[in-house]
Structure 1
Amino acid sequence: MGFRLPGLINTTQKLRRSSSKRRSADVPKGYLALYVGEREMKRVVIPISYLNHPEFLNLLSHSEEEFGFDHPMGGLTIPCREDVFTDLVSRLNGSSS
Structure 2
Amino acid sequence: MGFSLPRVVPAKKLLRRSLSNSSKAASMAVDVPKGHLAVYVGENKKKRFVVPVSFLSQPSFQDLLTRAEEEYGYDHPMGGLTIPCSEDAFIDVISNLNAA
Q: TM-score, normalized by length of structure 1? A: 0.75
Shift in Å, 1:67:
2.9
What are the ranges of 5 or more consecutive residues in structure 2 without an aligned counterpart?
Answer: 1-10
RMSD over equivalenced CA pairs, Å? 2.1
Give the number of equivalent residue pairs: 85
**Larger CA Rg, structure 1 vs 2:** 2
| 2:52 alignment counterpart | 47
Superposed CA offset, 1:21-72 (max 9, x none): x321110000001100001000110000101101101110122123324222
* Correspondences of 1:53-92 after superposition (within 5 Å): 53-92=58-97
* TM-score, normalization by structure 2: 0.73
Letter in 1 for 2:71: E
Matched residues, percent identical? Answer: 51
Q: What secondary structure sits across from 1:70 in the alignment?
A: coil
Asked which structure has the greater RCO (Cα within 8 Å, sep 6+), the reply is: 1
Q: Which runs of 5+ in 1 are unaligned?
A: 1-8
CA distance in 1, matches of 2:76, 2:47: 14
